Amino acid sequence: MREEETMNRYAPPIMTGLRVLGVFIGIWLAFETLTLGNPDAALRMATVWTVCSIGLITALGNYFFRKDVAESLGWRSGANYQTEHGFFHFAFFLTALTSYFLKWGPETNTAILMPYMLFFFLCALMHLWNAVRFKRYTWQTLTHAFLTFLLIAYLIFFISKALLP
């Protein structure tokens, strides 16, 4: 096996680890910011770290490690859907980054997070439904769904802290 093939085979789990690490850094920074009494800044921190970690790494994976990512997800390699999926995440990445640096406020961060959370919620439900329907109760399917629901709860917590009195 060539070195390039070996490295690419490890790309999907490394990218997953980097996404999780970025989200956990964001959780920590958002809670730290919240303890300073600034819920708007905490939501900005939660938004930028969550969306940028997931969005950028997912987009890069769909562009540079297409075959390996497709294989790890059970997709047909080279499908346009994969490129569109990368564009979707990259668009959210750019929007969240712009919102963070321009300090657009909690309403904008909520507007960024709502469709992103809805996308992940629907994906998690679909994967759980397929697990039940096809009796494929894998560790990956169940943990991804659980972590997705946990991520959504964390984001809703920061949205409520910033928007509710």
Q: Which of 35, 43, 50 is nearest to 157 (CA)?
A: 43
Q: What is the pLDDT of residue 6?
A: 45
**46, 158 contact by CB (below 8 A):** yes
Measured distance CA(69)–CA(65) in Å, rounded: 6
* Nearest-10 crossing angle of helices 66-73, 39-64: 100
Over residues 75-85, the pLDDT tens digits come to 677 677 788 88
Residues 6+ apart with CB under 8 A from 51: 92, 93, 95, 96, 112, 113, 116
**43, 159 contact by CB (below 8 A):** yes
**56, 15 contact by CB (below 8 A):** no
Structure tokens at 98: 């712009």
Torsion, CA 96, CA 119, CA 138, CA 136, rounded to 10: -160
Structure tokens at 103: 């300090």
**pLDDT tens by residue, the chain, 165 residues:** 444 444 567 777 888 899 999 999 999 999 999 999 999 999 999 999 999 999 999 988 887 777 777 676 666 776 777 888 889 999 999 999 999 999 999 999 999 999 999 999 999 999 899 889 988 888 877 888 999 999 999 999 999 999 997
Measured distance CA(81)–CA(158) in Å, rounded: 32
